[in-house]
Amino acid sequence: MISPRHSNLPGLNRFKQLVVLTLLTLSLGLALQPFGTAHAQSGPSIELVNDEGPTGDYISITGSNLNICGDTGECQVALKVGNFYMLIGGAYASAAGEFAFTGPLPRAGDFFIGTASKVMDVPTGPVTIVVGNLSERTVSATYTVTDNSDGPYSSTTAFEAIVFRWLHTDSLVADGAVKRSWLWGPRTFYTAFEPYKDSPDGWRLVSYYDKARMEVNDYSAESINNPYYVSNGLLVKEMVTNQIQMGDRSFEENSGSGPVLPAGDLTGANRTPPYAVYGQVLDRNDNSNGSIVNEYLFRIGNVEAMDTYNKYGVTAGHRVEQTGHYIASPFWNYLNTTGPVVDLYGQEYLTHNARLFDPLFSATGLPITEPYWTTTMVGGVNKDVVVQLFERRVLTYTPSNSAGFQVEMGNVGLQYFLWRYGQQ
């Protein structure tokens, strides 16, 4: 367990509201006191769609009046056995307090209370499911475990590592301490275990942010000084190919919703080319080193060089050997940015200057298309936007934006979640 000292940590308030807040606050000895019941007539309450089953099965929770999860609305979901708690995941409660979560019940994991922790199997029989801000207020319901032989392992190290990855860059953005665009987003909106054939027990922990999905493929791997312990999903590649990756070499065709847009407003009025259109230009490369980027991608997949875009001065800045694609100059500059970040030194969180992307392509993956100009609707206004797809991220360049926000990450995490799970 971590025993932090917070005096030097910008973004502390936002950090406390994240899915694994309890891992930090409990180390300070805070007691967890759930209140209410699953059937309360007023105030916050939850109900279980299914109230019994084996570990590894999905539990579905709905909640109402759940305005107990901090100002971001990030509610934690945990299992309680005696006085000990084990994290299951988390989801977002709306401003009206409406809440929904679906995720598999772990078979075992790290249970904790105060400074004490222990590894336990989830027992068969009645257990307590709690939802809320675990350091302050929760509501609870009873679930009966009928078998505990299958399911994921809940590792506090994995939950903590996801929080620290967000904290490293975006806590400063959340506090307004730096003027730059989000790398992840203001908060996670869904954290749970997803099936993955090559992870231990066939499950991996994932956490969805607007810009990406964080994932821990192997909770038992070395986490100290390992930049790949928490990785980004290959979400862009999946959406372009319409294939959901279920293992290292295992894929399933997605039968989900219609065209997904990689940039701008998620509305029918936005005529930017969808992901499927970029699948038509994966092998196309008409640029050369230092050449002006002026190719326009139409929604139907046609590409045409247009001199009108020469005025923006975007060039093919760097060729990536592995894929043969050039990175647009604003994106290459962005990927090599140095700025304030937060890291843990001993028992203190300190702000210092470092590369935002280290290793270079750890967040984005490699480019899989050339950069293309598009007409993209942003906030209801059509704008000239350069869009380039990478394996894990989409980068956009909007010259009409203010400095610090001309280059942004596309909302890949949100787009993928809707693509895979529908309008939930």
184-209 residue pLDDT tens: 999 999 999 999 999 999 999 999 99
49-105 residue pLDDT tens: 999 999 999 999 999 999 998 888 899 999 999 999 999 999 999 999 999 999 999
145-174 residue pLDDT tens: 999 999 999 999 999 999 999 999 999 999
The answer to whether residues 210 and 411 touch, using CB atoms and an 8 Å cutoff, is yes
Beta strands in 150-256 (DSSP E): 153-154, 188-195, 203-209, 213-216, 231-232, 243-247, 250-253
Q: Which long-range contacts (CB under 8 A, 24 or more apart) does 335-341 make?
A: 335/360, 335/361, 335/364, 336/360, 337/180, 339/178, 339/180, 340/172, 340/177, 340/178, 341/168, 341/169, 341/172
12-152 has CATH 3.40.50.970 classification: no
Mean pLDDT is lowest, of 37-46, 66-75, 396-405, for 37-46
Q: How confident is the model at residue 35 (pLDDT cuts 50, 70, 90)?
A: very low
Helix ranges restricted to H, 302-386 = 329-335
What pLDDT is recorded for position 136?
Answer: 87
Does an H or E element contain 320, and which? strand 316-320
CA 387 to CA 390: how far, in whole Å? 10
Q: How confident is the model at residue 257 (pLDDT cuts 50, 70, 90)?
A: low
What pLDDT is recorded for position 20?
Answer: 35
Q: Which of 154, 157, 24, 2 is nearest to 86 (CA)?
A: 154
- Cα Rg, the chain, nearest whole Å: 22
Whether the per-residue pLDDT at 316 is higher than 70: the answer is yes
What pLDDT is recorded for position 423?
Answer: 62
Please state the rounded mean pLDDT for residues 371-389.
98
237-248 residue pLDDT tens: 999 999 999 999
Q: Give the domain ranges of the chain.
A: 12-152, 157-253, 275-410
Average per-residue pLDDT in the chain? Answer: 89
What pLDDT is recorded for position 184?
Answer: 98
CA angle 82–87–92, rounded 5-degree value = 125
Q: Which residues have CB under 8 Å from 321's CB, separation 6+?
A: none
Whether the per-residue pLDDT at 181 is higher than 60: the answer is yes
The answer to whether residues 63 and 38 touch, using CB atoms and an 8 Å cutoff, is no
